Amino acid sequence: MIYGGFWGKLLRVDLTNKITKIEEIQQDLLKNFVGGALLGAKLLYDEVLPYTEALGAGNKLIYTVGPVTGTAAPCASRLNIATKSPLTGALANSLSGGFFPVEMKKAGFDAIVIEGKAKEPVYLYITDDKVNIKSAKKYWGLDTMDTQLYLKEDLKDHNLRISCIGPAGENLSLMSCIINEARAAGRKGIGAIMGSKNLKAVVTRGTKEVTIKDPGKFKNVVKEILENFKKCEVTYPFFSKTGTVSTIEGVSELGVFPENNFRDTGVNDWSVPLGSSALSKYNQTRNPCYRCPICCSQVRMVREGKYAGISTEGPEYETIYSLGSMLGIDNPEVIIAADRLCDQLGLDTISAGVTIAMAMELYEKGIFTDTAGMELTFGNHDIVLPLLRMLAYKEGFAKIFADGTKCAAQRISEQVNDYAMEVKGLELPAYDVRGLKSQGLNFATSYTGADHNRGYAIQEVSGIQIPHPVERLNIKGKGALTKFNQDFAGTYDVLTMCQFPMQSALVHIAQRVSADLLTVVTGFAYTEEDLWKLGERLNNICRMFNVREGFTRKDDVLPKRIMEEPIKQGLSKGERISQANLDSMLDEYYLARGWDMSGIPTPEKLKELNLEFTIKDLNRSANN
């Protein structure tokens, strides 16, 4: 191998015919598409035909890691899973941390492409270039925690790392996710893809050492990253002690922490019952990802009362919103128990919580009351855990809601669309974007749907003045700012590295330091400009995948409530994003992106980004 950081190997698994083979990844492909989300998107674009049924055998599930994964680079144990989403119909990239990514890398692979469908439940067992497809009949029906425990015991190796689904994925819930340890590759229903393929788990163990092209310079770059972590006022004083929960105070102060299905945002201050001080009372220990000095992942446990003995890795900020304020629930112990249950069931906490919130509002308005006596009222603690189980198993009336808000609206009536808080079918994360305009534009334009990880507006949420100071309630300039944020986020989805510390501690030098890191690891020469191009290339190839599926400007929308109903109270009182506001921001965004006003990349932009192979699909979009 003449370059570092890569094995240059792809594992292809044909579940239909039970065939596995190892293929070479060409050097030019690795240099230009690197790894993570970008390599996954390229493989998916090339191998999945337009309009393929997401839950059909023709769809593929693609695992990719990055060139710095498995090295001593901090915060780099990240896995990307790419597929066509059964929830949105768009391209899905989902990232997860923990130890599985490093184990996959050390097993000798940059990518795993899983195709076809097994006749009966199976799992993949990968150890240092050796691959077996084994029966998973005895594990089918188990939750994700027991699946991992039983596999480790049966294979007599408790150092195995396992990526698996629970009952939600097995039952093809479009809100299901993939779990490794207690980390979720969440959103977009990717757990249902594994379920549709009768694939219960991917089990891996690796002992190979990742090659670094220039070890001396690598140590210097890592040192600079760690020094900047120490200088940051947020990283160790707050983030490492509380995790993402520390976000609640600031968001609540701005009056944009959503409540009761976005109906009552700003009415209550949730930072007291659900903020970092309240949650820290339950802290037991931390469970860091591989080689992460920050250790943001808090393990919390309930010691008394109804939920005594239940612990979870979290709940994170988004889950406190979706299973807390969105449901009118101010009891951290309920949320801890619900978070744990979602991990066991393999349910995405954001989509599940937002969908329950929609059901609660429909119930209170008398639109949907056929609930077999279950009172779906905001603040009702007792129904949350039973309802999560019903969603995962598609039982009773919950079957109507088991595939998210968009599907529920289609099943109930057109009028219910007004209460579905989703974009492209993906439920909104924990920010009321009526008071965060760039964040709103990001939700509207993100290629995955409403996704907080695709272009987080740190300037509006945290007041970070990079690339420049921002007025959060002003729509002007938000097109270019959203492009900046999305391309920045995309860079770290490609490498793969955790976005959180890069945004909080390194945003002022992140692209330059990352270019240095990528250069000394791989031996390829990357500049700061090249790093920006990686993020831009990712957003454009994913956009073209969606264009090929028929997505245009008409899909870059926001929920009716966000556009028509002003925030009731708080610092953002009276704010909304009208259609005129959104249109203005979209025009500016498309212009900044080099796309036409239909939201479609131009041939010139695609050529600039080495995406010429997608130009043929512009004709397809024009005929839709």
Tens of pLDDT, residues 165-178 = 999 999 999 999 99
297 is written with which tokens?
A: 């992942």
Rounded-to-integer distance, Cα 323 and Cα 428, Å: 13
Nearest to 424 by CA among 599, 171, 196: 599
Mean pLDDT of 10-23: 98
Distances (CA, A) of 197 to 56, 59, 164, 435, 518: 8, 9, 12, 42, 35
Rounded-to-integer distance, Cα 1 and Cα 67, Å: 14
Rounded-to-integer distance, Cα 242 and Cα 299, Å: 10
pLDDT bracket for residue 508 (50, 70, 90): confident
Longest dimension (CA), the chain: 67
Sequence-separated (6 or more) residues with CB below 8 Å from residue 536 = 483, 487, 490, 609
User: Is 60 exceeded by the pLDDT of residue 214?
Assistant: yes
Q: What is the pLDDT of residue 611?
A: 98
Tell me which DSSP letter residue 382 carries. Answer: G
β-pair type (122-127, 199-205): parallel
User: Is 80 exceeded by the pLDDT of residue 158?
Assistant: yes
Other residues' Cβ atoms within 10 Å of the Cβ of residue 382: 11
133 is written with which tokens?
A: 């497809």
User: Is 70 exceeded by the pLDDT of residue 58?
Assistant: yes
Q: What is the pLDDT of residue 3?
A: 78
User: Is 90 exceeded by the pLDDT of residue 326?
Assistant: yes
Asked if 121 and 200 count as a contact pair (C-beta separation under 8 A), the reply is yes
Rounded-to-integer distance, Cα 166 and Cα 178, Å: 8
Tell me which DSSP letter residue 164 carries. Answer: E
User: Is 80 exceeded by the pLDDT of residue 241?
Assistant: yes
Q: What is the pLDDT of residue 2?
A: 56
Q: Which residues of 123-132 are buried (b: 16+ CB within 10 A; e: fewer)?
A: bbbbbeeebe
- Over its C-alpha atoms, the chain yields an Rg (Å, rounded) of 23
The reply to whether domains 9-205 and 433-495+527-622 share a CATH topology is: no
Amino acid at 408: A
List the domain boundaries for the chain.
9-205, 244-427, 433-495+527-622
Angle of helix 405-412 versus helix 349-364 axis, rounded to 10:
30
Give the CATH class of 433-495+527-622.
Answer: mainly alpha
Mean pLDDT of 247-272: 96
Mean pLDDT of 446-467: 93
Q: What is the pLDDT of residue 69?
A: 96
User: Is 70 exceeded by the pLDDT of residue 551?
Assistant: yes
Q: What is the pLDDT of residue 240?
A: 85
Rounded-to-integer distance, Cα 80 and Cα 124, Å: 17
Mean pLDDT of 89-94: 97
Asked if 6 and 105 count as a contact pair (C-beta separation under 8 A), the reply is no
The distance in angstroms from the start CA to the end CA of the chain is 45
Mean pLDDT of 504-528: 93
Nearest to 549 by CA among 38, 3, 44, 184: 44
Tokens 């299905």 map to which residue? Answer: 261
Rounded-to-integer distance, Cα 195 and Cα 175, Å: 12
Tell me which DSSP letter residue 347 carries. Answer: B
Rounded-to-integer distance, Cα 50 and Cα 32, Å: 24
Domain 9-205 carries which CATH code? 3.60.9.10
Q: pLDDT tens across 556-606, in order? A: 999 999 999 999 999 999 999 999 999 999 999 999 999 999 999 999 999
Beta bridge pairs of residue 23 = 10
Asked if 163 and 202 count as a contact pair (C-beta separation under 8 A), the reply is yes
Sequence-separated (6 or more) residues with CB below 8 Å from residue 304 = none
Amino acid at 397: F
Q: What is the pLDDT of residue 238?
A: 81
Distances (CA, A) of 441 to 9, 444, 452, 516, 583: 38, 5, 11, 31, 10
Asked if 312 and 343 count as a contact pair (C-beta separation under 8 A), the reply is yes
Mean pLDDT of 409-435: 96
Asked if 331 and 279 count as a contact pair (C-beta separation under 8 A), the reply is no
Tell me which DSSP letter residue 601 carries. Answer: B
Tokens 């492009």 map to which residue? Answer: 483
The three-class DSSP label of residue 568 is coil
Percentage of residues of the chain with pLDDT beyond 90: 90
Q: What angle do CA 485, 31, 62 make, to 5 degrees?
A: 75
Element (H, E) at 496: none
Tokens 């629970």 map to which residue? Answer: 166
User: Is 60 exceeded by the pLDDT of residue 432?
Assistant: yes
Q: What is the pLDDT of residue 623?
A: 52
β-pair type (311-313, 422-423): unpaired
The three-class DSSP label of residue 408 is helix
272 is written with which tokens?
A: 């007291």
Amino acid at 42: K
Asked if 508 and 580 count as a contact pair (C-beta separation under 8 A), the reply is no
Q: Which residues of 398-418 are buried (b: 16+ CB within 10 A; e: fewer)?
A: bbbbbbbbbbbbeebeeebbe
Lowest mean pLDDT among 57-71, 202-216, 284-298, 405-419: 284-298
Q: What is the pLDDT of residue 424?
A: 98
Tokens 């028509």 map to which residue? Answer: 564
Tell me which DSSP letter residue 304 carries. Answer: S
pTM for this entry? 0.97
Amino acid at 445: T
> Would you state the CATH architecture of domain 244-427?
Orthogonal Bundle (1.10)
Sequence-separated (6 or more) residues with CB below 8 Å from residue 471 = none
Q: What is the pLDDT of residue 243?
A: 86
Asked if 188 and 87 count as a contact pair (C-beta separation under 8 A), the reply is yes
Rounded-to-integer distance, Cα 176 and Cα 195, Å: 9
User: Is 70 exceeded by the pLDDT of residue 117?
Assistant: yes
pLDDT bracket for residue 232 (50, 70, 90): confident
Nearest to 453 by CA among 512, 539, 347: 539
Mean residue pLDDT across the chain: 95
Rounded-to-integer distance, Cα 245 and Cα 430, Å: 12
Mean pLDDT of 354-375: 97
Q: What is the pLDDT of residue 322?
A: 98
pLDDT: which is higher, 478 or 507 = 478
Tell me which DSSP letter residue 595 carries. Answer: B
Residue spans of alpha helices (H) in 130-197 = 144-154, 167-170, 190-196
Q: What is the pLDDT of residue 97?
A: 94
9 is written with which tokens?
A: 């190997």
